[in-house]
Chain A
Amino acid sequence: MGRKLLIHNDKVPNIHTLEVYRAHGGYASVEKALKTMTPDQVTDEVKKSGLRGRGGAGFPTGMKWSFLAKPEGVPRFLVCNADESEPGTFKDRYLMEKIPHALIEGMITSSYALGANQSYIYIRGEYFYVARILEQAIREAYAAGWLGKNILGTNYSLDLSVQVGGGAYICGEETALLESLEGKRGNPRIKPPFPAVAGLWGCPTVVNNVETIAAVCPIVMMGGEEYAKIGIGKSTGTKLISASGHINKPGVYEIELGVPVEEFIYSEEYCGGIRNGKKLKAVVAGGSSVPILPTELILKTAKGEHRLMTYESLADGGFQTGTMLGSGGFIVMDEDTSIVKNLFTFTRFYHHESCGQCSPCREGTGWMEKILKKFLNGTATEVDVDLLWDVQSKIEGKTICPLGEAAAWPVAAAIRHFKHEFLEIARNKKFVDISHYERLNAIKA
């Protein structure tokens, strides 16, 4: 059994209440930080821990914190990114719903480190009921003196509130999130300036993912060096993985970084293998934006080494033969899955979610969806595969925010590894769509 630092108490009855959370050691990191450490010491521990942002980009959190501008007399903000909309990702929801105080504790400790006296949790609007759970927990925390003026009798004060979004994946991009938090359309900003200099209402701001912030609590408690001993190399600590698709046990798993992918898919401790005795066909390992890999490349790298659940191992081989850990949205597909159709659902998603500011993204996602539709209705020709490749290749690096490339990468990877499927449809002039229930019935029969 791997070590768990974030959701080890998820099955404890009423762990969502302050009383039970506290009885299980909750808020200890706030006590330790506020009473025995300076803000810079907290940041130092986070640096030493090697913690990398869990929102998808994997940027070192301690470094991000140290970039925060600290001009005299200007407020600073910590904003938690709880927008979680990357297809295949549902770990933040699980953490917030089950153990809301873990996030609140992390927000207090992190805000203290950053010198923020007002912090926000921006949560996707669809998670309205989760926002309710967080708000209830925040009320409890205020009542018990963990939030508000002079926390624990120190001169540190913090106000914390939740804001619900209105439904838009793009608001997960940190500058779009800040726009949305200011009550505007979620149009990403041109950078620089980065939020660390000019973020919320033009003030220095740190935006961190839910899981990143929650991880600060164990780091403060065990010390950065201890935390860094978990994992492999630059992939330190534990990571929440959202596992879904054709597996026996979908759900949220906390793993020590470094678990072999094969073990993650097949062991009873995690996904429990492929459903209905089917064979594995492909995996999208880190949320919809990362390249899909066929069985042989997800289990082993091109060099023949076992692939591990780490930032480095998953990326081994670059985009030619590798992928990314991303947000940890692990989507598993069995042998009967149409890669083309799965790709279509991704592309339709990106087209729907493009904010429309940049032509390559706005138009490119639309064109890609249209071309893919031709495959699904059997009107595509072989030329369309090249056209699709051409369109995707003209998006990357030409847009304001990374949504454009996030839309292009899955298309490129599907063609790179499964070109034969596209060609087969084009040659046969037909796409055979077997519905899920037809498949299930066939398995039963």
Chain B
Amino acid sequence: MGSQVHGTQSFDKAKRAELKFSEEAMKTVETIISRYPAGKQKSALLPVLHVAQAEFGGWLSPEAMDYVASVLNIKPIEVFEVASFYTMYNLKPVGKCVLEVCQTSSCWLNGAEDIVKYIEKKLGIKVGETTRDGMFTLKVAECLGSCGTAPMMQCGASYHENLTYEKVDAILDNYKTEGKQRNYTDLDYKNTL
């Protein structure tokens, strides 16, 4: 993925036409834009990209980014610049549930590495990979502000804390049964605080 892919050459009008926010998502987007003074709608970019990612399959394709640019009336490159800077935007397809295990100090002190290894073994994938059924992608993350309840992982909007192998089993089973795409924007988040 690079700017050449995203340039006008590969600009696929037909594909872009397919992408459109649902009515509900569009309402959310309008609410977000209304938080900024007139003419400053670019400020809405980060939150709107989260909406787009949730709407369009959990990742931001070049077409999705172009669509966001057109909605905010900014240049496609302005969107790509931002989407490629921040870690929460996926520029490649991912599984329905992206498991992000924190690997920084406090989590490491409390066994984050063991948890990562356990998930790798359980799902038969390595960090960065997606299970063949498209259900799970495993990632490592940097401190997620949950150090007092380490080790922890995030999946969509949910924080899963004080992880043990048993807890991981239960969480993954639950997601698998549910079979839903999990997004940061989800309202039905779980957290253990």
User: Which residue numbers of A lie inside 8 Å of B, CB to CB?
Assistant: 75, 84-90, 92-94, 97-98, 118, 120, 124-129, 132, 159, 161, 163-169, 180-186, 201, 242-246, 250-252, 284, 288, 329, 331, 333, 337, 341-342, 345-346, 348-349, 352-353, 355, 435-437, 440
If A129-B157, A132-B189, A166-B86 touch, does A331 touch B145 (CB 8 Å cutoff)?
Answer: no
What per-residue 1/0 map shows which CB atoms of B85-112 lie under 8 Å from chain A?
1111100000000000001111011111
> Shortest distance in angstroms between A366's beta carbon and chain B's nearest beta carbon?
15
Q: Is the CB of B35 within 8 A of A161?
A: yes
- List residues of chain A with CB within 8 A of the CB of B184: 125-126, 128, 164
Q: Is the CB of A86 within 8 A of B143?
A: yes
State the CA gap A102–B38 with chains docked (Å): 30
- List residues of chain A with CB within 8 A of the CB of B166: none
Q: Is the CB of B82 within 8 A of A184?
A: yes
User: Which residue numbers of B lie inside 8 Å of A, CB to CB?
Assistant: 35, 37, 40, 42-47, 49-50, 72, 74, 78, 81-83, 85-89, 103-106, 108-114, 141-150, 154, 157-159, 184-185, 187, 189, 191, 193
> Shortest distance in angstroms between B68's beta carbon and chain A's nearest beta carbon?
11
Q: Is the CB of B47 within 8 A of A163?
A: yes
Q: Is the CB of B159 within 8 A of A163?
A: no
CB-defined A-B contacts under 8 Å, sample of 11 = A87-B147, A88-B105, A90-B145, A93-B145, A163-B35, A243-B148, A244-B150, A284-B105, A288-B104, A331-B106, A348-B103
Determine the residue in chain A with the shortest Cβ distance to B118: A437
Q: Is the CB of A128 within 8 A of B85?
A: no
State the CA gap A90–B42 with chains docked (Å): 30
Q: Is the CB of B46 within 8 A of A164?
A: yes
Closest A-B pairs by Cβ, 5 of them: A166-B86, A436-B111, A183-B45, A167-B88, A167-B87
Q: Is the CB of A132 within 8 A of B105?
A: no
Determine the residue in chain A with the shortest Cβ distance to B34: A161
Determine the residue in chain A with the shortest Cβ distance to B143: A87
- List residues of chain A with CB within 8 A of the CB of B191: 97, 129
If A167-B86, A186-B85 touch, does A126 touch B145 (CB 8 Å cutoff)?
Answer: yes
